[in-house]
Amino acid sequence: MDSFHVVTAPGLEPFVALELERLGLVPEKHTAGIAPGRVAFYGGQGDLWCANLGLATADRVLAILGEFRAAAFSELRKKAARLPWERVFAPGGSVAIRVACHKSRLYHTGAVAERVAGAIADRLGEPPRLHEPQDDEGAGAAQTIFVRFESDACTIAADSSGELLHRRGYRLAVAKAPLRETLAAVMLLASGWDRASPLLDPFCGSGTIAIEAARMAEGIAPGRGRRFAFMDWPGFDRGRWESMIAGKATPAPGGTPIIMASDRDAGAIRMATANAERAGVADRIRFERLSVSDISPPRGQGWVVTNPPWGVRTDNGKDLRDLYARLGDVLRERCRGWNVAILSGDKRLLDRTRLDLDTSLALVNGGLRVRLARGVVPEV
Tens digit of each residue's pLDDT (9 = 90 or more) over 329-376: 999 999 999 999 999 999 999 999 999 999 999 988 777 889 999 999
> Could you give the CA distance from residue 130 to residue 96 in angstroms, rounded to a whole number?
6
Look at residue 315 in the predicted model and tell me its pLDDT. Answer: 47
Q: What is the pLDDT of residue 212?
A: 97
C-alpha closest to that of 168 among 94, 315, 92, 57: 57
Q: What is the pLDDT of residue 374?
A: 98
Q: At CB < 8 A and 24+ separation, what contacts does 317-321 make?
A: 320/346, 320/349, 321/348, 321/349, 321/352
Using alpha carbons, list the distances in angstroms from residue 195 to 3, 140, 162, 183, 219: 32, 36, 29, 17, 10
Q: Which CATH class is domain 181-220+244-376?
A: alpha beta
Q: Give domain limits for the chain.
A: 2-159, 181-220+244-376
- In tens, the pLDDT along 89-144 reads 999 999 999 999 999 999 999 999 999 999 999 999 999 999 988 766 555 679 99
**How many helices (DSSP H) and strands (DSSP E) are in the chain?**
10, 14
Listing DSSP states for 314-345 in one string gives S-SS---HHHHHHHHHHHHHH-TT-EEEEEES
Instruction: Give the pLDDT confidence score for residue 342 in this predicted structure.
Output: 98
pLDDT in tens, the chain (380 residues): 899 999 998 889 999 999 999 999 989 876 655 678 899 999 999 999 999 999 999 999 999 999 999 999 999 999 999 999 999 999 999 999 999 999 999 999 999 999 999 999 999 999 999 998 876 655 567 999 999 999 999 999 999 999 999 999 888 866 666 789 999 999 999 999 999 999 999 999 999 999 999 999 999 999 998 999 999 999 899 999 999 888 766 676 677 799 999 999 999 999 999 999 999 999 999 999 999 999 999 989 999 999 999 875 444 545 899 999 999 999 999 999 999 999 999 999 999 999 999 999 998 877 788 999 999 999 88
Give pairs for 351-356: CB < 8 Å, separation 24+: 352/321, 352/324, 352/325, 352/328, 353/324, 353/325, 353/327, 353/328, 354/325, 354/328, 355/328, 355/331
What dotted CATH number matches 2-159?
3.30.2130.30
Q: What is the DSSP letter of 294?
A: G
What is residue 313's predicted lDDT score, i.e. its pLDDT?
A: 46
CA 239 to CA 330: how far, in whole Å?
52
Task: Assess whether the region 2-159 and the region 181-220+244-376 belong to the same CATH fold.
Answer: no
